[in-house]
Chains A and B, each alone.
Chain A
Amino acid sequence: MILNNNGNIITVGVGDLKIGKSPKMIKTSLGSCVGVVLYDSVQKIGGVLHLMLPNCNDREGKPSKYADTGIPLLLDLMLNQAKSKKNVLTAKIFGGANMFNVSSELFDIGKSNIAETERLLNHFGIRITASRVGGTKGHQITLDTETGVVQSRIFGEPIKEY
């Protein structure tokens, strides 16, 4: 959870979140986890949250592991640390694959992560402008904070921009 100034590439690990200002690029790799990208086009500041599970359910540990504690935290960083205005913030979401070969919807963590992420962003009034979610393969995303464009690469598929 840092405003990273070392080098131009910021990498986000599982259950973590980072924000950066242009010309930084923020990247992460996703499986069933969901990557939430918030972008402030006025200040050219972006933030990426790599969440693992939909709900914290009073569990201890990193709040950025969960959608219901991580999304408010990312929003708080963008609004209070980066001084972004809420009405200029947009969201893009990626990942949420079914990586564990489960047929039951109840245990499809990727699907639950996507649903909770969409619900929370809607609850906080943040518009989702793009998403590439689901599937059964991993996902690499890179946010260019200069343009707000997210380069998305799914294993075995061509790179797309959102």
Chain B
Amino acid sequence: MQISKEHLKILDIVVKMGMDNASRRFSKTIRRAALIELVKTEMVDISEATEEMNNDLREMVSSMLQLEGAFNGKLLFMIPLEGALSLQDFYTGQPQGTSKEYDEFTEGTVQEIGNILASSIGNSFALDLGSQLLPTPPQILCDFAGTIFTSLIFEEGMYNDKILLTETKFNIHKTEIDCYFFLLPEIGSLEVTLNKLEKSESFA
């Protein structure tokens, strides 16, 4: 299917509402303000998108989930390794610097945040569409930023040179921690959802 500018605009609005909801739940979970620095939805070339991410040489922890329902797609929450340790301290209410090494607790924290963000997006689509968008259990990946990002886009990139990507960047207030959240819908599965959104009163 062809994604028009109108479609992009509608998706951008729904995702922004979802991310607003997600950032509030994220902040509540870690007991710190998670500020949205950027939300953008666009059609991007797979080489250009990964080129940008391959410039980030940091080691990251990520939580990747599949979405099924109103449309199919993938979600990825990604945070630098040292940021994940800080997040773990926030989450468990311990003083900063307590968590020193990546372990199953770090993994659990990242997994939980992935779940929270995914369900916020799911709720947002459910409210606007009245249809379900369910996340599968998350898969944790600990690797280079570029490698994780490539794992996210690999399947969609096999069939299309351009992908529809929503990128959200969060910053944890009064820290240097930045983290990313990506939503990658399967373009082929979006048609019904976008038509429904176009007809929805909220976007009329």
Residues of A whose CB lies within 8 Å of any CB of B are 11-16, 27-33, 52-53, 59, 61-62, 64-65, 99-100, 137-140, 155
Q: How far is the CB of B48 from chain A (nearest CB, A)?
A: 6
Report the minimum CB–CB distance from A139 to chain B (whole Å). 7
| Given A12-B54, A13-B46, A13-B54: A62 in contact with B161 (beta carbons within 8 A) | yes
A-B contact pairs, 7 of them (CB 8 A): A14-B154, A29-B54, A29-B144, A29-B145, A31-B154, A62-B47, A138-B147
Contact between B150 and A140, CB atoms less than 8 A apart: no
Interface size on B (CB < 8 Å)?
28
Task: A29 to B60: give the CA distance in the assembly, Å.
Answer: 13
- Tell me if A14 and B147 are in contact (CB < 8 A): no
Known: A27-B54, A62-B47. A14 touches B143 (CB 8 A): no
Contact residues, B10-48 vs A (CB, 8 A): 46-48
Q: State the CA gap A137–B54 with chains docked (Å).
A: 15
Residues of B contacting A52 in the complex (Cβ-Cβ under 8 angstroms): 154, 157-158
**Min C-beta distance of A129 to chain B, whole Å:** 24
Main secondary structure of the interface of A (DSSP, over half): loop
Contact partner of A137 among B47, B50, B143, B160, CB < 8 A? Answer: B143
Partner of A138, one of B50, B146, B159: B146
Bound state CA distance, A62 and B150, in angstroms?
16
Does B82 count as interface, using CB distance less than 8 angstroms? Answer: no
Additional pairs, 4, CB under 8 Å, beyond known A14-B46, A15-B46, A62-B46: A12-B47, A28-B54, A29-B53, A29-B147
Q: Are A138 and B47 in contact (CB under 8 A)?
A: no
A141 CB to nearest chain B CB (Å): 10
- Asked if B59 is at the interface (CB within 8 A of a chain A CB), the reply is yes
The 8 A CB mask of B138-166 against A (1 = contact, 0 = none) is 00001111111011011001111100000
Contact A11 B47 (CB under 8 A): no
With both chains docked as a complex, state the minimum distance between the C-beta of B138 and any C-beta of chain A, in angstroms: 14
Would A14 and B161 count as touching, CB distance under 8 A?
A: no
Q: Is B116 an interface residue (CB 8 A)?
A: no
Closest to B143 in A: A138
Asked if A155 and B143 sit within 8 Å, CB to CB, the answer is: yes
Is B55 an interface residue, CB under 8 A from the partner? yes
B204 at the interface (CB under 8 A from A): no
For the complex, is B49 an interface residue (Cβ under 8 Å from A)?
A: yes
| Residues on the A chain within 8 Å of B48, using CB | 13
B55 near A61: Cβ-Cβ < 8 Å: no
Query: B128 on the interface (CB 8 Å rule)?
Result: no
Q: How far is the CB of A131 from chain B (nearest CB, A)?
A: 18
Compute how far the CA of A84 lies from the CA of B55 in the bound complex, rounded to whole angstroms.
Answer: 28
Residue pair A138, B144 in contact (C-beta under 8 Å): yes
B51 contacts the other chain (Cβ, under 8 Å)? yes
Query: A11 touching B51 by the CB < 8 A rule?
Result: yes
Please give, as numbers and ranges, the residues of chain A lying within 8 Å of B161 by CB-CB distance. Answer: 15, 61-62, 65
* Known contacts A11-B54, A62-B47, A140-B57: A31-B151 contact under CB 8 Å: yes
Q: Which residues of A contact B144 (CB under 8 A)?
A: 29, 138-140, 155
Instruction: List A contacts of B51 (CB < 8 A).
Output: 11-13, 16
Contact partners of B157 in chain A: CB under 8 A: 14-15, 52, 65
